[in-house]
Amino acid sequence: MALDLPLVHASWKPILDPVRSTIDTILEKIADQEIAPPHDQIFAAFHMPFESVKVVIVGQDPYPTQGHAHGLAFSVPAHVRPIPRSLKNIFTELQSDLRISAPDNGDLSKWSHQGVLLLNRVLTAQVGVSNSHVGYAWQVVTDHICRELGKANVVALLWGKSAAEVSSFFKNAIIGVHPSPLSAHRGFFGSKPFSAANRILENIGVEPVDWRL
């Protein structure tokens, strides 16, 4: 029997059905683990209708710190302090690219309301352990999702080596350096990904994203 997928919009059912057995196997495997994000937020990114997705930002895996991950890649709940350094670097580049002032918290939910899907390649991690679920077949699921998004002409911002692995699924893929403090200075800063995504959207006749938070 398929397990429940909390927060998933009904429009994603035909998208996810081909990989439901893989999803259910993973969920059964992690059922008794303390994970990030919490079990009821694993699929929070899919609360929006599939048809509303304009841009997908693909990252690596969730923040492993207790209470940080809430199902949207790179985002944290508004109360979390300090803001994770990767996210602070994203805000620095946002300000440089579009002259948008950095927000006072790290909740990126407004982007999802603008049609931006915040997707990690691996949807869960054991609390306190980065990359702990990389071998759990989440990539099979997210490969499939990215393939379907590519068919829908979604623009992709792919940050980091893991994210770049899905580039072939997209006609419009912007491959960039991960915003981690370990790598951001090697090309994330100055890459202007937000304006680049909006130019592509305008060129294909889609309303650009309002990146203000």
DSSP 8-class letter at 37 = S
Closest to 17 in 3D by CA, of 119, 152, 148? 148
Instruction: Indicate if 61 belongs to the active site.
Output: yes
Check: CB of residue 91 under 8 Å from CB of residue 30.
Answer: no
How many Å apart are CA 13 and CA 29, to the nearest integer? 22
Helices within the chain (DSSP H only):
13-16, 20-29, 85-98, 109-113, 138-151, 161-164, 193-203
Q: Which of 4, 32, 40, 61 is labelled catalytic?
A: 61
How many Å apart are CA 165 and CA 144, to the nearest integer? 12
Catalytic residues: 61
